[in-house]
Amino acid sequence: MSDPIRSVVILGGGTAGWITAGTLAARFKKDHAQPVSVTLVESPSVPTIGVGEGTWPTMRSTLKKMGVRETDFIRECNVGFKQGAKFARWTTGAEDDFYYHPLVLPEGFQSHNLAPYWLAGGRQSSFSSAVCPQESLCEHNLAPKLIGTPEYSAVANYAYHLDAGKFSGFLQRHCTEYLGVHHILADVTGIVESENGDIAKLQTDTAGDITGDLFIDCSGFRSRILGDHYQIPFRSCKDVLFIDSALAVQVPYASEDSPIATHTISTAQTAGWVWDIGLQNRRGVGHVFSSAHTDESGAFRELAAYLKLSESELDKLGVRKIPIEPGHREKFWHRNCVAIGLSAGFLEPLEASALVLVEISANMIAEQFPASRAAMDVIARRFNETFRYRWDRIIDFLKLHYVLTKRTDSEFWIDNCDPATVPESLKELLTLWRYQPPWHEDFDRAVEVFPAASYQYVLYGMGFDTSASAFGLSSSHHEQAQQLLRQKQNATQQMLAGLEKHRNLINKICQYGLQRV
C-alpha cells in the first residue's frame, strides 16, 4: 500500500483518452524527477464518436500545458474560434427570438453585479449586449483576436470548434512523440483483479498483459472497467433532461470563402434542438431530440428543413444516428480505477459540458495524483464528492434552458416546464432569483463549471423577471455601474473597429501562423 504509483494505464483513445494522457504526461514530465509512465490502450477498430465538437476556454490552457502550438492545432484540426452560443427560438419560438451566452464575463464582474442596473433601466437592449462586447462581435462575425495576438492570448475570450476525429489523431501524435506516452493498439479481452479487488492488468488479443497501478477508463459509453467490470450503477437523469437521440451530419460550405460562424448556433425544434458548428472546411450539424416526443423520421424532416435541403439531399450527406442515455455513474473513482469522458456519463451536447468535464477530471487527477495506493482512497473520495457536485450543477444549468421557455406549441416544451421534472436545487435557485440576481455567493464552490454570469446570461436572455430590490440602488453603486457600462461601450467600439472577419483570420493563421508565446 505504501509503494509509489509508477504507472497509469488508460483504456480508450478518442478525445477523452488523449486529453487525459497528455494532461498527465505533461504534468509528470514537468514536476517529477522520475516521471510516472502513461500507457494508452485502444482498439484499432472503434471509431471516434465526436462529430465536430465545441469546447470551453479552458481548452486553451489544457493545450498550452501540453506544449501544443496553437498554430499547429488550428491548421491540423480544422479549428474555428468559438465565442459563445447563440440560442434561437428557445423562448417563444418566433423567428426573431434569440439570445447569447457569450464567453466574456460582464464588465467588472468580479466586484460588481450589473444585472440590477440593467433590470432597473428597462431592458433597452439584450442583457449580453448591454454588459459585454461579445454579442456584437458574433453578430458581425468578427474573430476574437488578431494575427499579431500571441498564441493562446485573446482580445475577446474564446474557445474552439474542432474536428473531433482529427483532434484525436493530432493529440495522439503529440503525446507519443513529445510527451512519451506509450500507445498500444489492441482489443482488451479480459480484466484481471488482484487479491484486494484492484485492477491488476488488462488482457489483450495482440499485446499480451498490460499491468498498471492506476487505471483510467476512457472506453466510451460501454464503460468497460467501471461499468462492465465493477458494475458501478448508472444514474439516469432522463426524467429531467429528455434528449436521448441525435442525428448528425457533415455539411459542406457553399464555397471556400463562405463565412465561418464564430459561435455555436443552437436552434430549438419541436422536440429538441439543432446544433450548428462552423469548422474551416465544413459545418458539423446535428438534431438532438426526445424519442418520447417525436420519432426519427420527424426529427430527420426537421433537420432537412433547418438545412434547407430535401430529405433525399440530406440522406446523401450520410446522416449518423447516435443514441444518448442522459446520466452518469453513481461514482467515478472506484478502487484503482477512475472513469473520464463517456464512461463516466453524458448528458447532451448543450453548452459543450462533455469536454470541459474531461479537462477538469484529468486536471484534478494530475494535481492530486496519489503518491501511493494508501493515499488513493482519500483522493478518490474527494474526486467523487467534487464530481457528483459538478454533474448535479451541470444538470441544473442545462435544465434551466428548458424550464424558462414560454413555448407551448409542443408537448416537449410543455413537459419540460412540469415542476416534477425540475430538480429541487434548481427550484430553490429560481425562487431566490425572483428577488435578487444570481451572484457568486449563490454557489457552494470557489470554482464552478458555470459561474453566476452564465446563469445571468440564460435567465435574462430568456426574459426571466427579477423584482427590483426593496432597498433600491445607492447613488455610488449607480455611478460605478454607469462607468462600467461606458467602459464596455468603448471596448465594443474598439473591437468592432479593430478585429477582422473570422474566416480572414483563420486563413492568415493557416498561411503565416500565430506568434509564439
- pLDDT for position 93: 97
Cα gap 347→244, rounded to integer Å: 9
Catalytic residue (one of 82, 145, 331, 399) = 82
- pLDDT for position 121: 80
Give yes or no for a contact between 216 and 337, defined as CB atoms under 8 angstroms apart: yes
Residue 82 a catalytic site member: yes
- pLDDT for position 446: 60
**3-class DSSP state for residue 128?**
helix
Provide the residue-wise pLDDT of the chain in tens; the chain has 517 residues: 678 999 999 999 999 999 999 999 999 998 877 889 999 999 998 776 655 589 999 999 999 999 999 999 999 999 999 999 999 999 999 999 999 999 999 999 999 999 999 998 877 899 999 999 999 999 999 999 999 999 999 999 999 999 999 999 999 999 999 999 999 999 999 999 999 999 999 999 999 999 999 999 999 999 999 999 999 999 999 999 999 999 999 999 999 999 999 999 999 999 999 999 999 999 999 999 999 999 999 999 999 999 999 999 999 999 999 999 999 999 999 999 999 999 999 999 999 999 999 999 999 999 999 999 999 999 999 999 999 999 999 999 999 999 999 999 999 999 999 999 999 999 999 999 999 999 999 987 767 889 999 999 999 999 999 998 767 777 878 889 999 999 999 999 999 999 999 999 999 999 999 988 6
HSE-CB for 310 with a 13 A CA cutoff: 3
- pLDDT for position 41: 98
Q: Which helix H or strand E contains 321, and what residues bound it?
A: strand 320-323
For cell 458501478, name the residue.
Answer: 232
**3-class DSSP state for residue 47?**
coil
Cα gap 131→146, rounded to integer Å: 23
- pLDDT for position 477: 80
- pLDDT for position 49: 61
**3-class DSSP state for residue 160?**
strand
Helices (H), 81-240: 115-120, 127-131, 134-139, 164-178
- pLDDT for position 51: 52
Q: How would you write 403-434 as a 3-class SS string?
A: HCCCCCCCHHHHHHCCHHHCCHHHHHHHHHHC
Q: pTM of the entire structure?
A: 0.96
Distant-in-sequence contacts of 298-306, Cβ < 8 A, 24+ apart: 298/270, 298/271, 299/245, 299/247, 299/269, 299/271, 299/272, 300/247, 302/269, 302/270, 302/274, 303/247, 303/249, 303/274, 306/267, 306/269, 306/274
The three cell numbers of residue 127 are 442583457
